[in-house]
Amino acid sequence: MASMTHGKHLSAAEIALRSAYALVGVAVIGLGAAIMLDGGVGVDPFTALNTGISDLIGWSLGTWQLLANAILIVAVVIWGRGYIGVGTVINMVLTGYFITWFSALLDPVIPDDLGLGGKALFFLLGIAVFDFGASAYMSAGVGTAPYDAIAPMIVDKTRFSYRWVRTVQDILTVTSAWLCSGPVGVGTFATAFFNGPLIEAFSQKVNSVLVGRLVGLLPEHLRSDEHREDPTEG
């Protein structure tokens, strides 16, 4: 599970560094979703649901996804306020627009008929990029998007495994996306099963480590208290 900084007082410099890492992660999420969308293999469950609804009501994806997140954040405020931070705002406001921007860039250069091999490549690349980005912004520890906070909140209350809670959540979202005529494809179903395990693996093996090392590069007086060296040690 991605590391969070609940209850920790962070210095302004560390918040800025972690927020920049979260911003990069959200941009990578947008790229991964656009790769799957333009590759014709479906998108992640939440984007599929939001795309279906936005098409039905005639709104842009970015605008509807922002409203959907605003609705979900009410539950987070009530049951998981510690998951709200700068990263929450970054994800809420920018993810939908990043998907739209990257999709517009990729669409003209991706062939209409990729074939089975091409679709498989775009699926594997897309899900890896998407989940790496999700792991990156969550590992930054400055807040979680409302949709991504649902599974950790349930884990906190029940101690169920994150990967299984996230999988059930994504499967329910895929079903809703299909009912709303969203772009559900093999990639959507696959991400429903693999998002949890991949995000957890990327967080534990890569992004949590990188965030810790980047924070360690800050001058000692700019770090939060828990990252400062104890002068009595050594």
pLDDT digits (tens, 9 = 90+) for 117-174: 888 899 999 999 999 999 999 999 999 889 989 999 999 999 898 889 988 999 999 9
Q: How confident is the model at residue 226 (pLDDT cuts 50, 70, 90)?
A: low
CA distance 204 to 211: 11
**pLDDT at residue 46, rounded to an integer:** 92
**pLDDT at residue 3, rounded to an integer:** 42
Q: What percent of the chain has pLDDT over 70?
A: 92
Total number of residues shown for the chain = 234
From the list 128, 144, 121, the residue with the least C-alpha distance to 191 is 128
CA distance 130 to 7: 28
pTM beyond 0.85: the answer is: no
Place of tokens 């590992």: 139
- C-alpha angle 178-76-207 in degrees, rounded to nearest 5: 80
